[in-house]
Structure 1
Amino acid sequence: MSGQRPSATAKDNGITPIQQMVASCSGALLTSLFVTPLDVVKIRLQAQKNPFPKGKCFVYCNGLMDHICVCMNGNKAWYKAPGHFNGTADAFVKIVRTEGLGSLWSGLPPTLIMAVPATVIYFTCYDQLRARLKVKMGQHEQFAPMVSGAVARVGAASVISPIELLRTKLQSEKLSYRQLGTCVRRAVGAEGWLSLWRGLGPTLLRDVPFSAMYWYNYERGKQWLCQRYGTKEPTFAMTFVSGATSGTIASILTLPFDVVKTRRQVELGELQAMNLSHKASSTITVMKKIVTQHGIKGLFAGFLPRVIKVAPACAIMISSYELGKDFFRKHNRDRELGPLHTSDT
């Protein structure tokens, strides 16, 4: 036992933090590649009914996070595709036929620039925190995923929030990076460094409860499936089903905060596009406005599209992440056993 490598004990379940980052990065890539076409079709269908004129914006979501895109196309409307779409399947066919297959992944590069680092930070922090909390919490270790998920989401959202704001500014105005730096210095000078985290509040109101519920239900569901089918380690199918189920539950329960966050993002994007500096409405104000205009059901608008999008995104992300971690575990195990087999021979 004294010959055991010290580095192995520093690994979480046999893999290093760097390997966790690589596994989560591959998961983010696969998820974005899968979900982006669904968003493109959804936006095209929305745009033919309510085109986006100059200065307007829409929220683009890849299942992992949301993005603001501001229309700066003169007086023309965005996504004015030829013909009329008669549904999702018809939109898929017409877009591919008239614009090519690659058009289904339009907007993918900026999505990956945001999604990949956020996912890497989020999943790596979660695994590292959970491994430590399970030891410290003892008999209450079943709550370690909930606490770890919430803390990891706060960290990831806080790191990415200023980048999201800067990217929105670049989309709303044609600025060079030097001009952008000048704008940032002016904003920080006028409102302080906290101005770079504008809109973080409603993001955390939705994402922190989502992450806490998602990871708790995922780990419990995965454990239950292993016990039911008598396996020590979860299979790919088990992680896929657990991810989809836990993502569906969390997305339904946090839907009101998602609606509020979308409203605030759109409002913020429009203010920036029109060069207006007054503050966006608070979360409570937006929520009251929605209830006044549409009733309680307005807080659950977009129920079906959100579930259809989030469930497969969560399933693909977590199952590919677990698959990547399994690959690195086997790789590390083979490397450690290699010298032993050599010495035996």
Structure 2
Amino acid sequence: MSQDSGSFVAPASDVRLTAADQAFAGASAKAATKLSLYPLDTWKSRKQARGDLDFRHLRGIRGVYRGVVPKLLLYSPYQAVYMSAYITSRDSLLGPLGDSALTFVAAGIAAEVAGAAIRVPMEVSKLRLQLGVYSNTWHAVKDFCRNPWQIYRGSFLPQTIMHDCFYSACGWLIFESGRQWLFAAHGCSSLPVYENLGLGLVTGTLASLVTNPVDVVKTRIIGCRDKPEGILATAAGIWRHEGISAFWRGAALRALHLAPSHGLYMLLYELTKRQMVAWRGT
């Protein structure tokens, strides 16, 4: 680590790992958490959708797992790109910026922009399948193949810039700041398993609640069956017709989904990295 990185303490599990190693660990950990918690994400999306939509025909196991196929197929490569970009950006910024909040915020935003080419079609397909806009996965694939530019153009701003970058910046700022505080309190650069889990739970809860309003707006835009309105028009319409409370629809379900998801991810991510370090050591 550069001497110019301020008081930042690199986690012990990062020392012998490259950005590619971090990407593999992140992808493996994320794939393991998504499948079990996916129904909560489906219920959240339907809670945030327009009130005139009827999802009674999409109930049951198959209904709540609609959209899981593109999620599982694309999430590991997305997470690999995301974690590689985050670690590379964070370590590059530690020199000029030190361990300031701006370092973690900028690295989180850079990671989302880097992974957007994979995440945008993944999230659009998943959400539209959850809401019944697409009849099945093949319908989603055909729509993307016919109109890839339209998918990116219509979803990059609400999905990546407004939602993903905001969530990623909040999440990494909370997690990295909390981890540095715990490192200082323990006087070491490694945390026990339960603290990684607890810090991940806190991060997921706070980040999900803070960013819920933009998640509602994003859901309304991307899940629209007709030509969607812009971000400001959609937000103004929600405020005018449904009131400010509508921006918090699905907040509890979102927290119930993202808190354990983030906690399990950080737990498995650290365990995977430690195992990789142990293998390298032998």
Change (3 A) 1:331 1:197: farther
State the match for 1:202 in structure 2. Answer: 158
- State how 1:27-46 maps to structure 2 within 5 Å: 27-39=29-41
Match of 1:26 among 25, 28, 40: 28
RMSD between aligned residues = 3.5
**Does structure 1 retain, via aligned residues, the 8 Å contact 2:43–2:253?**
no
Change (3 A) 1:328 1:30: same
State the match for 1:215 in structure 2. Answer: 172
Question: Would you say 1:320 and 2:265 are equivalent positions?
Answer: no
State the match for 1:126 in structure 2. Answer: 86
**Does structure 1 retain, via aligned residues, the 8 Å contact 2:40–2:256?**
no
Task: Give the drift of 1:315.
Answer: 0.9
Determine the C-alpha separation between the residues in 2 that align with 1:40 and 1:256.
17
Identity %: 26
Determine the C-alpha separation between the residues in 1 that align with 2:269 and 2:81.
13
Determine the C-alpha separation between the residues in 2 that align with 1:151 and 1:293.
35
Question: Would you say 1:288 and 2:236 are equivalent positions?
Answer: yes
State the match for 2:277 in structure 1. Answer: 329
**Does structure 2 retain, via aligned residues, the 8 Å contact 1:158–1:200?**
no
Which blocks of at least 5 consecutive residues in structure 1 are unaligned? 1-11, 54-76, 82-94, 96-101, 272-278, 335-345
The structure, 1 or 2, with the larger RCO (C-alpha pairs under 8 Å, 6+ apart) is 2
- The one-letter amino acid paired with 1:148 is A
- The one-letter amino acid paired with 2:22 is Q
Task: Give the drift of 1:43.
Answer: 8.4
Change (3 A) 1:103 1:312: same
State the match for 2:55 in structure 1. Answer: 52
Larger-gyration structure (1/2): 1
Please report the TM-score for the alignment, with normalisation by the length of structure 2: 0.78
Match of 2:254 among 306, 317, 324: 306
Determine the C-alpha separation between the residues in 2 that align with 1:158 and 1:281.
22
Change (3 A) 1:174 1:287: closer
Please report the TM-score for the alignment, with normalisation by the length of structure 1: 0.65
Secondary structure of the structure 1 residue equivalent to 2:223: helix
**Does structure 2 retain, via aligned residues, the 8 Å contact 1:243–1:315?**
yes
Determine the C-alpha separation between the residues in 2 that align with 1:51 and 1:35.
23
Secondary structure of the structure 1 residue equivalent to 2:104: helix
